Structure 1
Amino acid sequence: MPAPPTDDSREIRETVVAAWRAESARLVGALTRMTRDLGLAEDLAQDALVAALEQWPATGVPDNPGAWLMTVAKRRAVDHVRRVDRHDRKVSELERTATGKEDQVADLDELVDHIEDDALRLIFLSCHPALTPESRAALTLRLVGGLTTAEIARGFLTSESTMGQRISRAKKTLVIAGAELELPTGEERTRRLDDVIAVIYLVFNEGYAATAGDDWMRPDLATEGMRLARMLAAMTPEEPEVLGLQALLEIQGSRLAARTDDEGRPVLLDDQDRSRWDQLLIHRGLAALERATGLASRGVPVGKYFLQASIAAEHARAARAEDTDWPRIAGLYDVLARAAPGPVVEVNRAVAHGRAFGPEAGLAVLDAVDPGALGGSPLLLSVRGDLLERSGDPARAAAAFAEAAGLTDNAGERDLLLRRTQSARDAGSTD
């Protein structure tokens, strides 16, 4: 029977996992560039991870974990090609870029040029237009986020085997499509960048407000979404929409700890203890938004993520809920509705108008939204309930909350809506 892990071994294992999360995109990207085989590159990177888990507890954590992982993976690549065909030209190509000494760990920058470019290429490859949005999200988390198949499956409430099949099919689709590890250019890059942003936003959103399951949130997914946005912003510092995405996710992510009470029940924005908001994330988010604003002032176009970040910033700047500048938020939603029209934007615009100009104004905006456009989401009914409650109509508010509770697949959201149903009923019975 193996001995239980010591505190030191746990700490080293956590260090290995942290290094893997930080370096996996660069690692797989660089190996894909060298081998021209995404599947092989991922296998080689995984081999390096296993080697770290086996060796670091005995030898200690190297000064440059990324360089160590890259060197091990490169050696495994050379060994693999030798086994397949000792005379293949890939052997000489790989060996020319190797260190030349089997016992020497070279600097990461000496091994592969343009490491950040390779990571960016990998993000774009994961979001290839031949893939479905669900497959893009899964592959991004796998290849760029460094998450295991089991971790991704848990995040999206599916079995590990199902998620494994989805990821495997996505890789095969890329092969059939002839996808290469190259950055798209021109209009194609613009389209693909939009896809990349959308996938990162999807990953964060699923963590921030889970669509199904027992938990109100999945913080690991939200944190991973923030990390991916930060990585993308570092790679494309002149793209205001990417900076807007980073700002939006970090400002919203700052509220994670305050979004549930001590019993794990959801807490709405107005009721949150703002002292629990993460000030470092707010600071980083506002700084990203300021950089995006500077680009916009020079004529670089901005879009919906910049506008949503601007809205989130208004909440972040309010020390108390009652200090929120709702008229300004309503104005920003009016701009957003013109820039990126859609039913979700309209529902949120109804909230802002209801808070800025009274519940009747919010209901007027909400009445124009087609309920069928939201695909059975409880969002419209829950907002209607809130506006009706604020307008002094608790009976109709209770009915709206109860109907919304019947539509959600998330247990935490259902509990919140049922509590609001009961609260509205209690208020109605005292009138």
Structure 2
Amino acid sequence: MAEAHRREWAFVLATTVRVTRDLDTAEEAVQDAYVQALRTWPRDGVPRRPGAWLTTAARRNALNALERRKTLQRKLPLLLEPEDAPMPELHAIPDDRLRLIFTCCHPALAPEAHVALTLRLVCGVATADIARAFLVAEATMAARLTRAKKKIAAARIPYRVPSVADLPGRLDAVLTVIHLLYSTGHTAHSGQDLVRDDLAERALDLARMLHLLLPAAREAAGLLALLLVHQARRTTRTDGHGRLLRLEEQDRSAWDRELIAEADRLLVASLTAGPPGRFTLQAAIAAVHAQAAAYEETDWPQILTLYGALLRVWPSPVVALNRAVALSMVDGPEAALAEVEALEREGRLAGYRYLPATKADLLHRLGRDAEAVEAYRAALALSDNAAEQEFLAERARLLTP
């Protein structure tokens, strides 16, 4: 059942919304379908096509709910336009998931609501994992999701395919959603495995669809290039026992060169078409890493330059932290540590496990192992992923006298 939830939720919910054009009604119908599956599958066996079974059950539940519309309409937040309004054309976007993502990214909602609502409703990502992606408490994210739904109800936002003219204005929010979805799968925030293949593959599929939908959008191409480079080295990020491997430890001969070449073609086209945005610059950084035949041959000055450009177009503390890593490889760990400690004092990355992990590595390189152990332990306390926990605990153990 857990596997069916991870793999089928997006398809089942998005398809059900097409029937109801009402988020709450659709989500309730899909949840009821999963409850029905919990009752019947142990008795009758898992169907050959679990997604089709769940979709049929959810659609039936939704249609039953719509029959009771006159009774329920005062209680449910509607996404419908007036009854005599013409049905929107549904063929403009070729996939229900993308259609629903663009709907959740309606301009009446705040940008942070776009991402959180889409990750929760379209992608089925747990509220706790969304909260970690946003560096906020789970209760804060739950409240944010509730406010977003209330805003949908108050604004009576319709389930409508955006026109061609409206698509570019919604693009950045959609790109952010897909990127965060891939990030959640690329390094799972919790659980035993470092990677959640279902989320990573779902995000890559959506990125490909978006690029096909908007081939002239440079940032859509940049995002796809970024995900392709990450996907190319996915299988080398852990060893045969699931132990996390750092970039310098990975077997570069096992990286998927076809995916890297595809990313390079997208990246060249995006860079030559105009000023690069944040996803294109991130893809360029990833490409520089991928082009190095060995870790020792990495062009760190180029990466540092690219991070500087990225920080100008996207002044994020996470980008500043990553730039500090590149700075350490160019100017040494002491210069980088000063920037990391400044970020630490600033407080915007409080609770972000990669800040103390980065600090620990820099302290170790400076010979300050006792302090490094404390920083590794601080990072360990912030991680819920078993592979990361094992890595951090091992690093602390090796440096403990």
Query: Structure 1 counterpart of 2:322, which letter?
Result: N
Match of 1:254 among 232, 236, 249: 232
Q: 2:289 aligns with which of 307, 315, 333?
A: 315
1:99-248 to structure 2, matched below 5 A, reads 113-116=91-94, 120-128=98-106, 136=114, 140=118, 173-182=151-160, 192-248=170-226
Contact 2:207 2:224 in 1 (8 A): yes
CA shift, 1:271, in A, is 0.9
Asked if 2 retains the 8 angstrom alpha-carbon contact of 1:381 and 1:403, the reply is yes
What code does the residue aligned with 1:351 have? V
Q: Which amino acid aligns with 1:247?
A: A
Can you list the C-alpha shifts for 1:383-430, whole angstroms capped at 9, x where unaligned?
12212222333333233223322333333322211211122235xxxx
What is the aligned counterpart of 1:356 among 330, 354, 365?
Answer: 330
User: Structure 1 residue 349: deviation in Å?
Assistant: 0.6
Q: Can you give the 5+ residue segments of structure 2 that lack an aligned partner in the other structure?
A: 37-47, 71-81, 133-140
CA contact under 8 A between 1:120 and 1:235: conserved in structure 2?
A: no
Q: Which has the larger radius of gyration?
A: 1
User: Partner of 2:343: helix, strand, or coil?
Assistant: coil
Q: Distance in 1 between matches of 2:266 and 2:27?
A: 32
Partner SS for 1:373: coil
Q: Give distance in 1, aligned partners of 2:60 and 2:344.
A: 59
**Could you tell me how far 1:253 is from its partner in structure 2?**
2.3
SS of alignment partner, residue 402 of structure 1: helix
Change (3 A) 1:216 1:76: closer
Note if 1:277 corresponds to 2:251.
no
Q: Which residue of 1 aligns with 2:391?
A: 416
SS of alignment partner, residue 215 of structure 1: coil
Q: C-alpha separation between the residues in 1 aligned to 2:107 and 2:91? A: 27
Residues 178-236 of structure 1 show CA distances to partners (whole Å, capped at 9, x for unaligned) of 11234557997555322212121221111222333443332222222222222222211
Q: CA deviation at 1:307?
A: 0.7
* Deviation sequence 1:332-359 (CA, Å, 0-9, x none): 1111122211221111111001112322
1:258/1:267 contact within 8 Å kept: yes
Q: Which of 344, 353, 357 is 2:318 aligned to?
A: 344
- In structure 1, the residue matched to 2:381 is 406
Deviates more, 1:38-47 or 1:323-332: 38-47
Taking the aligned partners of 1:414 and 1:83, their CA distance within structure 2 comes to: 50
1:422 alignment partner AA: R
Residues 114, 75 of structure 1: alpha-carbon distance in 2 compared, 3 angstrom cutoff: farther
| Separation in 2, partners of 1:29, 1:78 | 11
Determine the C-alpha separation between the residues in 2 that align with 1:369 and 1:77.
49
Instruction: Please state how far the C-alpha of 1:309 moved relative to its aligned partner.
Output: 0.7
The question of 1:332 aligning with 2:310 is answered: no
Contact 2:343–2:349, Cα closer than 8 Å, also in 1: no
Residue matched to 1:306: 280
Aligned length: 372
| Bigger relative contact order (CA 8 A; separation at least 6) | 2
Q: What is the root-mean-square deviation in Å for CA atoms of aligned residues?
A: 4.9
Given that 1:30 and 1:112 are in contact with CA atoms closer than 8 Å, whether structure 2 keeps it comes out as no
Counterpart residue number, 2:364: 389
Q: Percent identity at matched positions?
A: 41
- Distance between the aligned counterparts of 1:141 and 1:368, measured in 2? 32
Partners of 2:313 and 2:203 in 1: CA distance = 24
Counterparts of 2:291 and 2:279, CA distance in 1: 18
Superposition pairs of residues 69-108 of structure 1, within 5 angstroms: none
Q: Provide closer, same or farther for how the CA distance between residues 302 and 25 of structure 1 changes in structure 2, counting only shifts above 3 A.
A: farther
Gaps of 5+ in 1: 1-13, 51-59, 95-110, 427-431
Partner of 1:376: 351
Q: Distance in 1 between matches of 2:342 and 2:120?
A: 41
Distance 1:171 1:343, change over 3 A: closer
Equivalent position of 2:241 in the other structure: 263
Distance in 2 separating the partners of 1:377 and 1:209:
14
Specify the code of the residue in structure 2 equivalent to 1:238.
A
